[in-house]
Structure 1
């Protein structure tokens, strides 16, 4: 592949550009397949790997481990960002995908808690940390590699393929899980079938490595290397005056906002449908797949639009619409998935009287009456009002039950119209699919141009490091812990929709930072 002198601008070479976009995007598809797989199977993994007789606590522990994988991503950004700016973009993201694929396959070989005791969650956590470390270097490499090959007037469009590949990874993961689950019984899948999607990542790793090995180095990096202008210490140089301010803008104005919108559209929706709306997991995955497939092309459209309209205006519009629509969209999905639950919540509100109760993943015991009562209500997706009292008591539909009695609670809830599962006869799938599709569209509006923004925001000699640090702190902490935080807020407040306030709050912060401090980057040269 012939390099292009950056001083003259990067031209259009259709054959080269297709290879660059395909290799970078396909590798990113496989990377996100690996990471999303854990999120989709979080409830099952919690049951298999964490010691708890309380399913809600096990799920929270599993989500905490999921978040820990994201939490280590900033370290991966530092390590791989350093090498990406020192030795090159190509070889760095070859290492990241190898590490990611290997760690994912290894999860498929782990013993469960029943087989290995506490070693099982410890080994799982270790592999999650390796996945997060690798992903900390993958995105920056792919985004920069495409951005440094793209013509200036098509940079948003070219790099948007990196963003749509995230949806591709999610869809590939959904298809794999659905195929495996559909080919065996539930008992078989929970016993050993869950391992197959993890082990399948070895095939994807081989394909991605084969394609990426055909790539040449970025023309921008080649020119810097030839001129001897590469940074000797990219980490230190990233925090020098004139650049470190943009690190904070990229973190709080770009990465944090778009990430919580994206994860709300995917994991937030999945846990809401299966937990609150009581939709069967395979059915919920199908709704997600159809909705995401319908809206996925918008990632490229909004990338293209940002080349013409501007990155900043599009990002602000996406943030504003997300804050306005997230609650109505989830209520639309709830009404479509389980109308009986919506009616019962409005007509027969639930009140739980209880003393102070430690109901969290950090609690040593989950066998108290208050913990059992909260677990029962949360597991069934029931909203409730908590009232402090000396002892536990449940009031619903005019009936008050003192103490905790699961059979009495379930009978009272059933009489008040609270369904155990969503009724297929009442379900309105179009509402669910519409809600999912619009959430994905909002993600596309904010995420489609992000690679172009970040590539344009930082100078070439420290671009890999400077881009990766804020992006992965934002996605790692604001996004990675989103499922855990949202679920925890729901448990503590009793409102099935209250977790969405986390999304609204983070997006509001991002809107303000973007409005006042993010410059318009669309027409910038990126060779300096």
Structure 2
């Protein structure tokens, strides 16, 4: 098709071709998200494989931080691959990102554990996570730009919303693979070598994805721009040096993307950690409840994408941010009530005070928390109490360290004795399956997914319409990956660390609530409505 023919049909290519483009781009992206999220689905499990034993809380936090490390290089991936996408082309750029992702994921499946090679294991794991983040940084922005440039103005929200599904579908695939393996394997076998299988499956997925992507043609909008010599010579400079474009990037990040990121990752990942580590549900039930919620909620990405073509994108997304800021803490309290009623009852009638001079050493809190073995009694007590969802208040004093449980004072920290005292006071060691209200649990998890679809469904169309053609790949990628990588990606880690610090299992959600609220305010004030904008502008 010639550039002149394209220009004569500025609305879009034909519907059949658009659908083929969506299918090909979305399938490839599903596989890439599966690669990225398979670690997230096993993040808590990895604590005992790649980090030293002796400090369970440190291992969990380190595994969540390593999950977050995959987000560190996302913005840099957006810069590197965004430049390639805006100068060389959309198609070949996300072929490269997919190859990097697939190989890095497969390598995790071959990686020796801490017991075999010591600290080289977590160091290599972090390196592989960084490579994954680099690849994802250039993937999604390219795919959504590619689809949008093949779509007409009247259905751009619908077409790009199919791509928004890929993150949830990739997570769903990872959960199903893990659940299937853990059903057919013993716990010992899965811990010894079975956990490697989901990562090694990426080799086959990589081959399929490359085949699908190689069949695609270049975006007609980019081809027309290139034929007329209008491509940017340096799109990254054009983004960061041009005040108008830089303002668009900042508005996209703080007006909507950051809110979408914390809502999505808290609802999809932190919720799973909360169910298993905080509420002590068995992994089969937790995975099943979240899987059902994902299956029920995923179609709403398309529902809200289509709705945004009819009534606009801005207020659908911002309504999702506002509702999330208002509802997240009540929803997680509901999960506690219906998921582990005994724990909820125990928390209501239990009072714990951690008291003593050691609690004055707050400046060493994180250093103590991440040390292979905890030494300061106050930090040891905090780590133990938070790991068991026991509410506590820390009160520094000049007296010897002590723990006051329901008015009873005990000098020093004896973990076995404290555990026995808490159990005697009614602390459950795990959730009682007979008392779990599964329908309400699934309902609450569905609401978390639904809120994510409200913000995420119209997001792709909004971002591609926000940026001019010459820097669209770079602009969309940079905005997405700064917001997702540096603000959203660390949400599970920040939430967990805050809980350990404060002693309240719901305090970690304040990060998500604040970011979502800020995005609502900035977006309502400054974010324009983009529906129907010309993609060749």
| TM-score of Structure 1 vs Structure 2, range by shorter chain | over 0.9
Choose the corresponding residue for 1:421, options 424, 430, 454.
Answer: 430
Structure 2, unaligned runs of 5 or more? none
Q: Is the 8 A contact 1:319 1:507 kept in 2?
A: yes
Q: Which residue of 2 aligns with 1:91?
A: 92
Q: Does structure 1 retain, via aligned residues, the 8 Å contact 2:462–2:531?
A: yes
The question of 1:488 aligning with 2:490 is answered no
Shift of 1:174: 0.3
Instruction: Tell me the equivalent position of 1:463.
Output: 472
Distance change in 2, residues 1:79/1:123 (3 Å): same
Match of 2:395 in 1: 387
2:314 corresponds to 1:307: no
8 Å Cα contact 1:278-1:381 kept in structure 2 = no
Q: Distance in 2 between matches of 1:287 and 1:260?
A: 21
Is the partner of 1:401 in helix, strand or coil?
Answer: strand
Q: From 241, 245, 258, give the equivalent of 1:243.
A: 245
The alignment status of 1:264 with 2:272, answered yes or no, reads: no
Report if aligned partners of 2:337, 2:344 keep a CA contact under 8 Å in 1: yes
Could you tell me which of 440, 444, 459 is aligned with 1:435? 444
What are the Cα deviations for residues 373-394 of structure 1, in whole angstroms up to 9, with x where unaligned? 2222122222222222343322
Q: Secondary structure at the match of 2:309?
A: helix
Structure 1 residues 430 and 391: CA distance shift in structure 2, 3 A: farther
Shift of 1:328: 1.0
Task: Name which of 375, 386, 407 aligns with 1:378.
Answer: 386
Equivalent runs, 1:208-247 vs 2, <5 Å: 208-239=209-240, 240-247=242-249
Kept in 2, the 8 Å contact 1:21–1:158? The answer is yes
Aligned-pair CA distance for 1:142: 0.6
Q: How does 1:71-220 map to 2 (within 5 A)?
A: 71-220=72-221
SS in 1 for 2:22: helix
Q: 1:520 aligns with which of 504, 521, 529?
A: 529
What residue number does 1:352 align with?
A: 354
User: Would the aligned equivalents of 2:391 and 2:504 in 1 still touch at CA under 8 Å?
Assistant: yes
Q: Provide the rounded CA distance (Å) in 2 between the counterparts of 1:6 and 1:353.
A: 73
Deviation at 1:363, TM superposition (A): 4.2
Residue 109 of structure 1 and its aligned partner are, at CA, apart by 0.3
Alpha-carbon distance between aligned partners in 1 of 2:510 and 2:327, rounded to the nearest angstrom: 12
SS of structure 2 residue aligned to 1:90: helix
Deviation at 1:64, TM superposition (A): 1.5
Residues 134-165 of structure 1, C-alpha deviations (whole Å, 9 max, x = no match): 00000011100110011101000100011111
Pick from 300, 313, 318: which aligns with 1:298? 300
Work out whether residues 382 and 501 of structure 2, in 8 Å CA contact, stay in contact via their aligned partners in 1: no
By how many angstroms is 1:242 displaced?
Answer: 2.3
After the TM superposition, which of the residue ranges 423-432 and 344-353 deviates more from structure 2? 344-353
Q: CA deviation at 1:362?
A: 4.4
* Aligned position for 2:65: 64
CA contact (8 A) 1:34 1:100 kept: yes
Distance 1:297 1:351 in 2: 47
Could you give the per-residue CA deviations for residues 395-449 of structure 1, whole angstroms, max 9, x where no partner exists? Answer: 3344332211122211211121110000111111112111110000000000001
How much has 1:180 moved relative to structure 2? 1.1
Structure 1 equivalent of residue 10 of structure 2 = 9
Q: Does 1:497 align with 2:498?
A: no
Matching residue of 2:375: 367
The CA distance in 2 between the partners of 1:55 and 1:420, in whole Å, is 16
Shift of 1:347: 1.4
Stretch deviating more after TM superposition (335-344 or 274-283): 274-283
TM-score scaled by length of structure 1 = 0.97
Is 54-63 or 343-352 further displaced after alignment?
343-352
> Among residues 320, 344, 347, which one is paired with 2:322 in the alignment?
320
**Matched residue SS, 2:404:** strand
Counterpart CA distance in 2 for 1:200 and 1:111 is 18
Q: Do the aligned partners of 1:75 and 1:133 also contact (CA within 8 Å) in 2?
A: yes
Residue 394 of structure 1 aligns to a residue whose secondary structure is strand
Query: Partners in 1 of 2:354 and 2:295 — Cα distance?
Result: 41
Determine the structure 1 residue equivalent to 2:453. Answer: 444
Q: How many Å apart are 1:372 and its aligned residue? A: 2.6
Q: Secondary structure at the match of 1:425?
A: helix
Partner Cα separation in structure 2 for residue 2 and residue 129 of structure 1: 40
C-alpha contact (below 8 Å) 2:335/2:444 kept by paired residues: yes
Distance 1:10 1:107 in 2: 44
- The answer to whether the 8 Å contact 2:91/2:218 transfers is yes
Could you tell me which residue of structure 2 aligns to residue 330 of structure 1? Answer: 332
SS at 2:403 equivalent = strand
* TM-score, length of structure 2 as denominator length: 0.95
Question: Aligned residue pairs: how many?
Answer: 528
Deviation at 1:336, TM superposition (A): 0.8
Of 501, 510, 514 in structure 1, the residue corresponding to residue 519 of structure 2 is: 510
Q: 1:325 to 1:2 in 2, by over 3 A?
A: farther
Separation in 1, partners of 2:402, 2:280:
24
Q: Distance in 1 between matches of 2:285 and 2:372?
A: 35
**CA distance in 2 between partners of 1:262 and 1:62 (Å):** 19
